[in-house]
Amino acid sequence: MTFIKLTLLAMIIAFFSVKLSWAHPGFRFGRGGHHGGISFGLSPQFYQFSCPQANDIVMSVLEKAIAKDMRMAASLLRLHFHDCFVQGCDASILLDDSRTIVSEKNSGPNKNSVRGFEVIDEIKSRLEEACPQTVSCADILALAARGSTVLSGGPNWELPLGRRDSKTASLSGSNKNIPPPNATIETLITFFKRQGLDEVDLVALSGAHTIGVARCATFKQRLYNQKGNNEPDENLEKSFYFDLKTMCPKSGGDNFISPLDFGSPRMFDNTYFKLILRGKGLLNSDEVLLVGNVKETRKLVKKYAEDESLFFEQFSTSMIKMGNLRPLTGFNGQVRKNCRRVN
């Protein structure tokens, strides 16, 4: 009898293992799991059977959104970054204020700055029609970041999927963990190391500034009072400095915008690094990669300026690494029906 029971139990486990792994390839039965012998990992094939059209749906929405608004690609890339640096890549940044949630959207780095929420809403709505309660908002952010990079002429990469969505947000974490635009090189390295990211990741991921814009408020200090002596940043190339002054006055104009990479603001390329070498990095956090007295970051800026394919390769690697920051998997978290609120 005992043998028969054990055989039946083995058959049941095998059956459910096959069912789960077909529905979600990231679900695996075996040693090393944290839930009764089940291990949960991210996998590029996670939606292979449960929602094979997921990426096509994401790309179709992105194509229209980016064609309508050239800034949107950079905005969606930034959303993923700002999400992953707070509680891990769990879509906590998408949660609105509610009775139980204090939204990260109101933090210093995010308020009047992060955007693209309506595009994420549209992607989620389309995915819910096709595959109800299957694709998480956290994975949508990761897919949208990759898709935005590709549609801007940048690299593609095999993206691990299977993240689940948080039931919480962290306003304090958002205020504390996202590097400020006026950061020194030491501060940047500290912020990235806190996330398990190194100097190579820092320089490569900073290359996302090859697209997008920044508000005058984020670089005004460099124009008028870099060291508290009412003098501009000496590292700014002169003609670039005068151009910036015309669109970013000393008082007012905080919401005026300038391209982060004025050489090719719509194209994901390595022009960003070439501009830094010429004293034309817009943010302090851009320029210090070169002038911040850290040999490794200076060397990488020069390498990526010379070799775009090397930059693309490392950007892809670092995006995968960042996208793997403390994801919720398995039975943790949930798949939200609406990305703005907990189920």
- The answer to the question of whether 80 is labelled as a binding residue is no
> Other CB atoms closer than 10 Å to residue 328's CB: what's the count?
23
Determine, yes or no, domain membership for 339.
no
Q: Which residues are catalytic?
A: 82
**Residue 296 contacts residue 186 (beta carbons within 8 Å):** no
Determine, yes or no, domain membership for 275.
yes
Determine, yes or no, domain membership for 279.
yes
Nearest in space to 224 (alpha carbons), one of 202, 199, 253, 204: 253
Q: At residue 142, does pLDDT exceed 60? A: yes
Tell me, what CATH number does 105's domain have?
Answer: 1.10.520.10
Question: Residue range 84-103: average pLDDT?
Answer: 97
Q: What is the pLDDT of residue 10?
A: 45
Lookup: tokens for 196: 């398990």
- The answer to the question of whether 179 is labelled as a binding residue is yes
Determine, yes or no, domain membership for 316.
yes
Tell me the per-residue pLDDT of 20-68, one tens digit each, with 9 for 90 and over: 444 444 443 332 333 333 446 899 999 999 999 999 999 999 999 999 9
Determine, yes or no, domain membership for 147.
yes
Q: What is the pLDDT of residue 4?
A: 52
Full residue range of the structural domain in which residue 99 is found:
51-211+259-322
- Residue partners of 14: CB distance under 8 A and separation at least 6: none
- The answer to the question of whether 92 is labelled as a binding residue is yes
Question: Residue range 330-339: average pLDDT?
Answer: 96
Q: At residue 18, does pLDDT exceed 80? A: no
C-alpha 224/C-alpha 119 separation (Å) is 36
Please name the helix (run of DSSP H) or strand (run of DSSP E) that holds residue 117, with its range, or none: helix 117-130
Determine, yes or no, domain membership for 270.
yes
Tell me the per-residue pLDDT of 237-261, one tens digit each, with 9 for 90 and over: 999 999 999 999 999 999 999 999 9
C-alpha 301/C-alpha 276 separation (Å) is 8
Q: What is the pLDDT of residue 112?
A: 86
Question: Residue range 289-310: average pLDDT?
Answer: 97
- The answer to the question of whether 158 is labelled as a binding residue is no
Q: What is the pLDDT of residue 213?
A: 93
Count structural domains, the chain: 1
Determine, yes or no, domain membership for 150.
yes
**Residue 215 contacts residue 113 (beta carbons within 8 Å):** yes
- The answer to the question of whether 83 is labelled as a binding residue is yes
Question: Residue range 6-18: average pLDDT?
Answer: 45
Determine, yes or no, domain membership for 100.
yes
